[in-house]
Amino acid sequence: MSVSFQVLGQPGRDNALYVKVDTGQAQTRLLLDCGDGCPHQLGPSELREIDHLCFSHLHMDHVAGFDLFFRLNFDRIGKPNRIWVPLGGGEVIHHRFRGFTWNLVDDRQRGEWLVSEIGSGWVRSARYLAREGFRTAHAEPERTRHDHALFDGDGFTVEAVLLDHGTPSAGYIVREHPRVNVDTARLVAIGLTPGPWVRRLRGLPAAPGETVTVNGVEHPLGPLQVELLTTTPGDSIAYLTDFRMTPPTCDALAEALCGVGIVVCESQYRAADVALADAAMHSTSAEVARMATKAKIGRLILIHISDRYDATARRELLAEAQAIFANTSLPEGWE
| DSSP symbols for 228-244 | HEEEE---EEEEE-S--
Three-state secondary structure call for residue 300: strand
The DSSP element (H or E) to which 318 belongs, if any, is helix 311-322
Residues 6+ apart with CB under 8 A from 299: 261, 262, 263, 327, 328, 329
Q: Which of 61, 235, 242, 273 is catalytic?
A: 61
DSSP assignment letter at 142: P
326 φ/ψ sector (left φ>0, alpha ψ -120 to 50, else beta): alpha
Q: Which residues contact 25 (CB under 8 A, 6 or more apart)?
A: none
Q: How far is CA 295 from CA 227, 303, 319, in A?
A: 33, 18, 20
φ, ψ (nearest 5 deg) of residue 73: -125, 5
Is the torsion defined by CA of 311, 19, 150, 258 positive or negative?
A: negative
| 242 part of the active site | no
Q: What is the DSSP string of 6-57?
A: EEEE-TTS-EEEEEEEE-SS-EEEEEE---TTTGGGT-HHHHTT--EEE-S-
Four-CA torsion 84, 67, 57, 275, nearest 10 degrees: 160
Contact 299, 321 (CB under 8 A): no
User: Looking at the annotation, which residues are catalytic?
Assistant: 61
